Structure 1
């Protein structure tokens, strides 16, 4: 039984970085090279959210230390953000982040933040 847990631990230690960094890096490069803007939005949103999760994880480290399944929870959340079947990063960006940007009228460059094709 000890070998089984060691194997699961090895899988988890490989799945985490692969799912949170390696696949998103590869998909981001593919998105840059493609002509579609839809995949650009997905991966830019992913990196914004991943950075936010990492920042919150650093701040809350003393609390998260006491949650034994934190890494598994994070892996499931990141899988939802990353996997193309779910497009979770785009969903979170469109539903929450973008709404806050519009609410507080964040300025980017010389123009107000308004998505192409939309009017105020």
Structure 2
């Protein structure tokens, strides 16, 4: 245990930057390092062993991105809001497709692991796959939206 202690201390120092974890530690008396490791372990077990994996992946896909989208809205950062809208659009498409092929997905044992990796790829700042999707898809959809907008304006005039 003494060999692990320096790593736990380093991890605790890193986690000290997060106010929410400090509040949880203060309220429960459980060190933030142990709390974080327990959440990570439970999440991993849930996803890898398919125990409430659908719920777990959807929570991972919604909680942090929703916070970041609200933050972008509060700061009136329209560029970030566009990317977060694309993120939620992509997650919505994945969830709709998932509903349609649930029976088929039951035959893929690590589907939820792949989904978690995809979700992280979409929203983690290192990759920000949602921005890549936004930059690739939006130019393709722009003519459609402009045409629909023109038709709508024409309908209002009539």
TM-score (norm 1): 0.72
Partner of 1:77: 118
Contact 2:47 2:112 in 1 (8 A): no
Larger relative helix fraction: 2
Higher RCO (C-alpha under 8 Å, 6+ residues apart): 1
- Structure 1 runs, 4 residues or longer, greater than 3 Å off: 10-15, 107-112
The 1:63–1:82 alpha-carbon spacing in structure 2 relative to 1, beyond 3 Å, is: same
Larger radius of gyration: 2
Partner of 2:128: 87
- Aligned CA RMSD, in angstroms, stands at 2.7
Unpaired runs of 5+ residues, structure 2, are 1-40, 152-158
The 1:43–1:57 alpha-carbon spacing in structure 2 relative to 1, beyond 3 Å, is: same
TM-score (norm 2): 0.57
Unpaired runs of 5+ residues, structure 1, are 1-5, 113-120
Q: How many residues align?
A: 105
